[in-house]
Amino acid sequence: MSTAAQSLLEKLGVHLDPELLVLALTHRSFAHEAGGIPTNERLEFLGDTVLGLVVTEHLYRTYPAQSEGDLAKMRAATVSQRALAHVARDLELGDFVLLGKGELATGGKDKDSILSDTLEALFGAVYLSHGLETARELVDRLVSPTLAAAAGLGAGLDWKTSLQELSAHLGLGAPSYDVTGEGPDHARTFTAHAVVGGQVRGSGTGSAKKIAEQEAAAAAYATLSELRDAQDAGSTADVR
C-alpha cells in the first residue's frame, strides 16, 4: 500500500483493502481515461444510504422533542453537498482522489460535488469491509460537528423551506426562483433571484443551482423578516 493511501487510512482510522480503497477514490473522469475501469459511483450510492441512516438515527435519538420537519431540515443540512465537502477538505481528501486530466486542470480536487461523492464512496467501502457499526463510528466522528451546528441553525437549516413558510404566513404565496448560469460547463457560476409576491426579494450566487437558490432564499428571508416584524409591530400598536 502506498504511503499516500496509508496516510488517508490513518486519517479515517480504519483499514481498507487496497483495491477497495482505490475503487472508492476513482472518479469517473479517471476511469474513462483509463479505458473504462470501474468508478466509485456504486460505492457512493451505498455510502449515501449508510450516511442517511446513521445521521437520521442520531437525530432521532438525540433530539426527541424535535418535529419530523425539523429533523428533516437538520438532516438535509448535515448531508448536503457543501457540508460533506467541508468534512472532506478537513481530511484533505482532494489530494487522494483519482481524477482525469480534464478535471485536474479545472480544479476538480476542490469541487464540492467530487469531494462529497468521494466521501460517501468511502463510507460505502467501510460499510462493505467492516459492517454498519464501524461505518456508524466513522460517520459519527466525521459529521458530529456538523450535526451539532445544525441544531442551532434555526431557519438556516433550509432557507428555501423557511422562506416558503414565511411567505405563506405573510399571505404572499409560494416563492419562485429565476436562475441563470454563465461560464464553461466545468466552471459555471449560477445566479438566482428569489421572487415572492411578484417581487425579487433576494439574490444569491453559487457553483450549483441549489447553492444559488439557498443563498437567494436566505437574502429573501431576511427581507421578509423585516416586513413581518413591521407588520407585527403595527398589530401591537393597533391593540394598544
List binding-site positions for Mg(2+): 44, 117, 120
Which residues line the annotated binding site?
A: 44, 117, 120
The one catalytic residue in 112, 120, 158, 215 is 120
Report CA torsion sign: 210, 213, 219, 225.
Answer: negative
Catalytic annotation present for 120? yes
C-alpha cell at 219: 437574502
State the alpha helices, DSSP H only, in the chain: 3-12, 18-25, 28-33, 41-62, 68-78, 81-90, 101-105, 112-130, 132-150, 159-169, 209-239
- Is residue 103 a contact partner of residue 27, using CB atoms and an 8 Å limit? yes
- Is residue 58 a contact partner of residue 82, using CB atoms and an 8 Å limit? no
Q: Give the SS3 label for residue 79.
A: coil
CA distance 3 to 96: 11
Residues taking part in catalysis: 48, 120
